[in-house]
Amino acid sequence: MLAPSKSHIGVRSRSELITEVLLNFVTFYTVQFTIPENCWNLREKFMKNKKILVTGGAGYIGSHVVRQLGQGNESVITLDNLCTGFEAAVTAGDLVVGDTGDALLLEKIFSENEIDTVMHFAAHTIVPESVADPLKYYRNNTASSRTLLEAAARHGVKNIVFSSTAAVYGIPDGGKASEDSATQPINPYGTSKLMTEWMLRDLSAAGGPNYVALRYFNVAGCDPSGTIGQSTPKATLLVKVACEAATGSRAGVSIYGTDYETPDGTGLRDYIHVEDLASAHLDALAYLRNGGESTILNCGYGHGFSVREVLSAVEKANGEKLSISEQPRRAGDPPELIAVANRVREVLGWTPKFNDLDTIVRTSLEWERKIANRDPSAYWAA
């Protein structure tokens, strides 16, 4: 009698062992004999039973990834507490409403499903709020991630794709950050994400899942088909805020700092379209499933636009001037934050398709107009 084998750091479940035996049976007879069609179907069934758990999949970025996974015929389970996400944003697979830090719920999900990959988006993301309420961020972003990783490792999950952030760099020298730049976060949000990266690193080194941590720069834009978009309540991202001002949902938009040492005096940021960011997650999934080693990758285009350039693009797309006020600099805002993003292309073969400010703004504005007009095909916070 064979002794039970181990997967990573947890003992494999009975269903995993049965699956392996059946797959080995089919593989053996594939070599030795002519296989009836129903055996091929059996093998395909087991191969397709593997599922992807997406935490925070009802949120802005997660929902775009879920949509692309669905288009790729992946089996998806979304776990989201809907505190900032929307049920209508989940366009593929199943939705489980609950918290990523709920250990009992995670045990139920992993026990009832054959999950080979976790894509982890669930997090609080508002920098000023993290400064005012740091423990909220360490509880939800860090402690809940630990609970998730423990459950994933126990159930033999092979791959994790993690939603990290350029905030781990703080204020990099020269305004540009590569994966080798020092990680010196200047707010609890960035620190909470960096701590999760550390847990992933140490767990993987101990025999746990391989992972790809994607460090996002400034995410913007919406699904070009208009099926889903960014409806995050009390959003702080510039493109979203400017489009809200353009459609009358806000009275205006503020520029914080006009005296930076940049061409027009306002801050420079690397804006990446959410569709391109979503595709990077699918590329990371393929990379890990093909045996790729754990790695950390920047996600940006490698060039930036100033605050004034973004606002001008919104005015151009909307055909009207915005109400703009100039305010003093905010503490901790770097003059420039641009990704050095060669590695993600080299490692994952990632090829962005929406590297254009006008496209980013147009897709954002189209979605914002749907919200402003209360289009029934859109969704928004009550």
Q: What is the CATH number of the domain that holds 96?
A: 3.40.50.720
Query: Does residue 298 sit in helix, strand or coil?
Result: strand
Do 83 and 192 fall into the same domain? yes
**Domain contains 219:** yes
Residue 159, phi then psi, degrees to nearest 5: -135, 140
What span, in angstroms and rounded, lies between the C-alpha atoms of 381 and 36?
53
> Are residues 256 and 126 part of one domain?
yes
CA atoms within 13 A on the CB side of 116: 15
Active-site residue, 60 included: no
Q: Which of 273, 228, 274 shows the shortest CA–CA distance to 375? A: 228
Do 58 and 136 lie in one domain? The reply is yes
Residue 2 lies in a domain: no
For residue 24, the model assigns a pLDDT of 52
- Within-domain flag for 9: no
Q: Is residue 5 part of a domain?
A: no
Domain of residue 38, residue span? 15-43
Question: Using CA of residue 113, residue 117, residue 121, residue 123, what is the dihedral sign?
Answer: positive
Q: How many CB atoms lie within 10 A of CB 244?
A: 20
Amino acid 123: pLDDT: 97
In 10 A of CB 55, how many CB atoms? 28
Quote the pLDDT of residue 99.
97
361 occurs within a structural domain? yes
The per-residue pLDDT for 21 is 47
- 7 inside domain: no
pLDDT for res 6 = 30
Full DSSP string of 241-258: HHHHHHTTSSS-EEEE-S
Q: pLDDT tens digit string along 9-63?
A: 333 444 454 455 444 544 444 334 343 444 334 433 444 468 999 999 999 999 9
How far CA 214 is from CA of 116, 138, 193, 305, in Å, comes to 19, 19, 11, 21
> Are 262 and 336 within one domain?
yes
Same domain, 174 and 272: yes
Q: Which residues of the chain have pLDDT under 70?
A: 1-49
Q: How far apart are CA 103 and CA 83, in angstroms?
A: 18
Report d(CA 23, CA 20) in Å as an integer.
5
In a domain, 162, yes or no: yes
Judge contact between 322 and 373, C-beta under 8 A.
no
**Residue 19 sits in the same domain as residue 96:** no
Q: What is the pLDDT of residue 49?
A: 62
Regarding whether 157 and 288 lie in a shared domain, the answer is: yes
Q: Which of 75, 99, 70, 73 is nearest to 85 (CA)?
A: 99
38, 146: one domain:
no
Q: Which of 343, 362, 265, 359 is nearest to 302 (CA)?
A: 343
Catalytic residue selected from 60, 137, 169, 189: 189
The answer to whether residues 210 and 332 belong to one domain is yes
Question: Among 336, 334, 314, which Cα is nearest to 323's?
Answer: 314
Cα separations in angstroms, 52 against 140, 151, 261, 289: 21, 14, 45, 12
The pair of three-digit structure tokens given for residue 243, joined into one six-digit string: 């489009």
d(CA 204, CA 200): 6
Terminal-residue alpha carbon distance, the chain: 60
Alpha-carbon Rg for the chain, nearest whole angstrom, is: 22
Is residue 21 domain-shared with residue 117, that is, in the same domain? no
Other beta carbons less than 10 A from residue 325's beta carbon: 10
The full DSSP string for 141-161 is IIIHHHHHHHHHHHTT--EEE
Q: Measuring CA to CA, which residue among 54, 97, 101, 104 is closest to residue 74?
A: 54
Contact 58, 35 (CB under 8 A): no
Domain count, the chain: 2
Please report how many Cα atoms fall inside a 13 Å half-sphere around the Cα of residue 183, on the Cβ side.
18
Let me know if residue 377 belongs to a domain.
Answer: no
Same domain, 20 and 58: no
Q: From CA 232, how far away is CA 246, in angstroms rounded?
A: 17
> Is 24 in the same domain as 170?
no
Adjacent-strand bridge partners of 269: 305, 337
